[in-house]
Amino acid sequence: MVQTMRRALYPGTFDPITNGHIDVIERAAQLFDHVIVLIGENPAKKPLFSEAERRQMAEESLAHLPNVSVDVYHGLIVNYAQNCGAAAIIRGLRAISDFEYELQMALINRRMAPEVCTVFLAPSERYIYVNSSIVRELVRFGHLPVDLVPEPVARRLHSLLLQQRQKSHY
């Protein structure tokens, strides 16, 4: 019997990647042979970091997971899933407020590609409130949330804060 690789996608903007994301990715990496963290764009959001920076931070933050890779994609996630032979799309659920939107996306994806499942994973309770928007807001107000992000992201945010402080002194 030929075994096929069970591949999953974990899409998001990851601006920046947080410890909550890492927690979900680690869980997914235990369930699937290969997980692709897929960095995309959300036209409704103005990103703090470029795609290249987000990719680099994600790659550095996930280096400890040999079965995880990072890619960038513009388009429908379900199309990428079909093209790479992914069995599943991973979605993190932090609160009931996430569920309605995520369920709608899962249903439309199933309609478009019935062979691709959506798998909902909850982060550890210590990260249940963490998201990239909170991290960006804290940084805008001069706080470095080192306990919410992996070390490569903390370094980049620290550099960003130093730049903000230098600009405000002129």
H/E stretch holding 8: strand 7-12
Among residues 6, 69, 94, 110, which one is catalytic? 94
User: What is the dihedral sign for C-alpha 4, 27, 139, 96?
Assistant: positive
Q: What length is written for the chain?
A: 170
**pLDDT tens figures, 21-48:** 999 999 999 999 999 999 998 777 788 9
* pLDDT the model gives residue 1: 56
132 is catalytic: yes
Among residues 27, 55, 61, 132, which one is catalytic? 132
pTM for the structure as a whole: 0.92
* pLDDT the model gives residue 16: 96
158 is catalytic: no
Q: Which domains does the chain have, with CATH numbers?
A: 7-128 (3.40.50.620)
Rounded to whole angstroms, the Cα distance separating 65 from 35 reads 10
Among residues 45, 126, 140, 165, which one is catalytic? 45
**pLDDT tens figures, 111-126:** 999 999 999 999 999 9
